[in-house]
């Protein structure tokens, strides 16, 4: 038949994917070929409608577009019979998009329901590859294009097991058990869910060139693996599996810990590790603006790109990483700000709503960093927001080896590192050093080495001959370790070296016993898992050497963190600031794996006096809490307290806070005093013999510290009067009986 192309009479018929004819020409359900040019034929299934004039064949707009037809064009129409053994559709892949861009939405469409409705609507119709048509589903119109047709296995049609052979065909007949697979058009923002959709070619989220050592991160292997497990494992899996599990991606990571341990470096490298957009790095204070509403607008701008992309691409949107440095500057606890404007509160509210509000985004990862996690609003820390909380603490020895290796690699490559530099030895000597301090140590050693090659003339010149042979040696590192770089969370030797500048005078068994008990307590702290907190009180009369013994026990322990909390550093402090200073010492101690805190002269810390306002209750309560507080898991703490007023602490119920009490006695016999004089070596043998004769069988009562003062006073006299003066001073301290 030669027929004329016409416009489809109704909208309903244009959705049927059929060519429409008059019943006098052809029967409904018949398949025909429409020849538009000598070389172009298209297969259609026809339906009849009385409004179509005889001799005309009506097509919808997508059909005319596909076949290149114009209205009124003459076409040749012939019967077409499908070979059902070869041309039944086994599987058909269809590209789908919204028909009109203005009707787009981001709600997900179930591809399984869509496929079932498609087969029902277009059963027994012919389809060709590249064919375009319209499909109505859930009151929305979708534009479809056939991408691929696979013939049904002839064995299945005969009722036999499938042979497994797959054959592509250009034209096929839709039957009841055909499989329809929907594939989203490339630039479409349509969201498909369910199994009847193609698995999109996915780019791996992890950058294939990612390497720890090249990234310059050391000592954080465990932290990285924990972050990966929590935050990225769900993003590596195919989206349809994640979807079937009903799993939501982690949107926030909170990194906290001491300064210089690699929080900012780690956040920066997470961005490089992922195949994501360049991370947006924001310093907390930069967000704040003096104009009303501007700070909140700055937060909204950070999330604008991610919002726009999610609306456009839905589940296919890439990952947007936003890094907040110094998060505590903008996310303090709400209601704590002193200003009346409440700017911090509104910024926190805005951030909360963006990360996990009503219109939540699923294509973001927010990384926050802070040294003060205690300041941050609780609402930000719940699951769904900053749910992965990771402490980036001081590196252990293995971590320090990695960090030092990273910072000396370049020197080693150019043969600028002397063979005597042992990285493992340096790592063992740098307990409690942070990553930044280790980098500083390497820099200090380099500058020491360079300084050797600078000529000390009227002008500053480099000795080029020697500079050619420049090498950084072990002595450069050791010199920098002793003089230049000290760890912020470490042992400050100057703290306790003043207390033991004269050494420990072992004048008798009591001193030896105290040091022995101290060694046992150190071993208990190191080795016992049942008692991570050990607190001991050294008590005794004034000037008996309690502080020196406490400092000696602390030094002998060789713990990486040793701090002395003494009243001389808190002169003029208010009660509150004194409590905060004491708490800071303990907080710092919890950051190290093994720590020793000496709480010296407890009654002075408590402002104790026997008359008037007796003591500071605020400081007492703070100390009682801190002395009993168990350190975090994996940390161990030894507390050594000293006091001259055990009776006062007993009344204050403070003795119960200590695990054990050790008594430090004064020198009580003439023999002990002579032994002390011999160890000090201040008097001659003849003078000591004279003193021994005078004190034989007599009892004395003097502290070792006071004894040192009396000896030094006596030594200022002429040699013939020294002994007499010494004995006179001794009698003034108490009767010799």
* Beta partners for residue 20, in sequence order: 47, 58
Residues near 403 by Cβ (< 8 Å), separated by ≥ 6?
A: 218, 219, 395, 435, 438, 439
Any idea what DSSP says for residue 568? Answer: G
Indicate left, alpha or beta for 114 from its phi (over 0: left) and psi (-120 to 50: alpha): alpha
The secondary structure element, H or E, covering residue 217 is: none
Burial pattern 556-572, b for ≥16 Cβ within 10 A else e, equals ebebbbbbbbbbeebee
The secondary structure element, H or E, covering residue 647 is: helix 646-651
- Neighbour count for residue 492 (Cβ, 10 Å): 14
Q: Write down the catalytic residue from 646, 698, 705, 725.
A: 705
Q: How far is CA 377 from CA 332, 344, 347, 389, in A?
A: 5, 10, 11, 14
Q: Write down the catalytic residue from 547, 607, 642, 643.
A: 547
355 vs 362: CA distance, rounded Å: 9
Burial pattern 281-296, b for ≥16 Cβ within 10 A else e, equals bbebeebeeeeeeebb
At 419 the three-state DSSP class reads coil
Q: Write down the catalytic residue from 600, 636, 642, 706.
A: 600
The secondary structure element, H or E, covering residue 209 is: none
Q: Write down the catalytic residue from 184, 251, 354, 546.
A: 546
Residue with tokens 């005093």: 673
Nearest Cα to Cα of residue 582 among 603, 597, 562, 561: 597
Active site residue 600: yes
Residues near 398 by Cβ (< 8 Å), separated by ≥ 6?
A: 219, 427
Residues near 28 by Cβ (< 8 Å), separated by ≥ 6?
A: 46, 47, 48
Asked if 612 and 655 touch (Cβ cutoff 8 Å), the reply is: no
Asked if 176 and 116 touch (Cβ cutoff 8 Å), the reply is: no
Asked if 521 and 638 touch (Cβ cutoff 8 Å), the reply is: yes
Nearest Cα to Cα of residue 352 among 341, 339, 361, 340: 361
Q: Write down the catalytic residue from 424, 628, 629, 696.
A: 628
Active site residue 251: no
Active site residue 378: no
Query: Tokens in use for 159?
Result: 């009722």
Asked if 283 and 325 touch (Cβ cutoff 8 Å), the reply is: yes
Active site residue 547: yes
Residues near 477 by Cβ (< 8 Å), separated by ≥ 6?
A: 421, 426, 441, 445
Active site residue 737: no
Q: Write down the catalytic residue from 525, 601, 636, 706.
A: 601
Asked if 163 and 153 touch (Cβ cutoff 8 Å), the reply is: yes
542 vs 705: CA distance, rounded Å: 9
Residues near 199 by Cβ (< 8 Å), separated by ≥ 6?
A: 238, 240
As annotated, the active-site residues are 546-547, 600-601, 628, 705
């Amino acid at each position: 038949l030669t027929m004329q192309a016409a416009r489809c009479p109704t909208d309903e018929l244009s959705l049927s994917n059929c060519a429409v004819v008059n019943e006098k020409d052809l029967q409904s359900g018949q398949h025909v070929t429409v020849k538009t040019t000598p070389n172009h034929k298209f297969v259609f299934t026809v339906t009849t409608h009385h409004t179509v004039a005889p001799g005309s064949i009506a097509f919808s707009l997508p059909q005319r577009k596909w076949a290149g037809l114009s209205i009124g064009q003459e076409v040749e129409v012939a019967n077409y019979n499908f070979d059902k053994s070869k041309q039944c559709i086994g599987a058909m892949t269809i590209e789908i998009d919204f028909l009109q861009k203005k009707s787009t939405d981001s709600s997900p469409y179930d591809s399984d329901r869509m496929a079932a409705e498609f087969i029902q609507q277009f059963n027994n119709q012919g389809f060709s590859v590249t064919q375009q048509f319209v499909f109505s589903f859930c009151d929305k119109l979708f534009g479809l294009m056939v991408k691929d047709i696979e013939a049904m296995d002839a064995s299945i049609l005969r009722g036999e097991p499938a042979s497994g052979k797959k054959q592509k065909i250009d034209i096929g007949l839709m039957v009841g058990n055909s499989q329809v697979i929907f594939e989203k058009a490339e630039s479409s923002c349509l969201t498909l869910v369910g199994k009847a959709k193609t698995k999109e070619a996915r780019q791996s989220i992890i950058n294939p060139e990612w390497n720890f050592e090249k990234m310059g991160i050391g000592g954080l292997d465990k932290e990285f693996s924990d972050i990966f497990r929590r935050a990225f494992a769900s993003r590596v899996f195919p989206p349809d599996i994640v979807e079937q599990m009903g799993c939501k991606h982690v949107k926030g990571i909170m990194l906290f810990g001491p300064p210089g341990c690699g929080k900012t470096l780690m956040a920066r490298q997470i961005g490089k590790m992922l195949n994501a957009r360049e991370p947006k790095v924001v310093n907390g204070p930069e967000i704040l603006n003096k104009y009303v509403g501007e700070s909140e607008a700055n937060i909204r701008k950070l999330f604008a790109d991610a919002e726009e992309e999610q609306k456009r691409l839905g589940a296919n949107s890439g990952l947007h990483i936003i890094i907040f440095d110094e998060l505590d500057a903008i996310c303090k606890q709400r209601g704590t700000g002193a200003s009346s404007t409440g700017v911090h509160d509104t910024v926190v509210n805005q951030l909360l709503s963006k990360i996990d509000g009503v219109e939540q985004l699923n294509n973001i990862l927010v990384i926050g960093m802070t040294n003060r996690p205690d300041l941050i609003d609780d609402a930000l820390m719940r699951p769904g927001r900053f749910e992965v909380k990771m402490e980036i603490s001081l590196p252990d020895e293995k971590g320090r080896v990695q960090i030092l290796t990273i910072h000396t690699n370049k020197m080693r490559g150019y043969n600028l590192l002397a063979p005597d530099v042992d990285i493992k030895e340096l790592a063992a000597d740098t307990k409690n050093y942070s990553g930044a301090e280790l980098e500083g140590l390497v820099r200090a050693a380099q500058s020491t080495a360079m300084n050797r090659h600078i000529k000390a003339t009227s002008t500053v010149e480099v000795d080029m001959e020697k500079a050619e042979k420049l090498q950084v040696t072990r002595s450069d590192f050791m010199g920098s370790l002793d003089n230049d770089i000290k760890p912020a969370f470490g042992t400050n030797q100057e703290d306790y070296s003043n207390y033991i500048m004269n050494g420990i005078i072992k004048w008798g068994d009591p001193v030896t016993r105290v040091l022995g008990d101290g060694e046992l307590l150190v071993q208990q702290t190191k080795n016992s898992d049942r008692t991570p907190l050990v607190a001991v009180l050294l008590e005794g009369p004034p000037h008996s050497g309690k502080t020196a013994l406490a400092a000696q026990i602390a030094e002998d322990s060789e713990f990486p963190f040793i701090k002395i909390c003494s009243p001389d550093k808190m002169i003029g402090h208010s009660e509150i600031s004194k409590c905060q200073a004491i708490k800071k010492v303990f907080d710092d101690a919890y950051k190290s794996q093994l720590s020793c805190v000496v709480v010296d002269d407890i009654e002075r810390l408590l402002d104790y006096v026997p008359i008037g306002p007796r003591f500071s209750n605020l400081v007492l309560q703070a100390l009682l809490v801190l002395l009993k507080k168990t350190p975090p898991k994996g940390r161990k703490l030894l507390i050594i307290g000293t006091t001259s007023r055990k009776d006062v602490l007993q009344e204050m119920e403070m003795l119960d806070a200590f695990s054990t009490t050790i008594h430090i006695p004064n020198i009580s016999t003439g023999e002990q005093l002579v032994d002390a004089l011999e160890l000090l070596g201040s008097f001659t043998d003849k003078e000591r013999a004279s003193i021994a004769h005078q004190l034989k069988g007599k009892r004395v009562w003097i502290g070792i510290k006071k004894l040192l003062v009396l000896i030094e006073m006596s030594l200022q006299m002429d040699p013939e009067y020294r002994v007499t003066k010494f004995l006179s001073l001794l009698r003034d301290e108490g009767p010799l009986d």
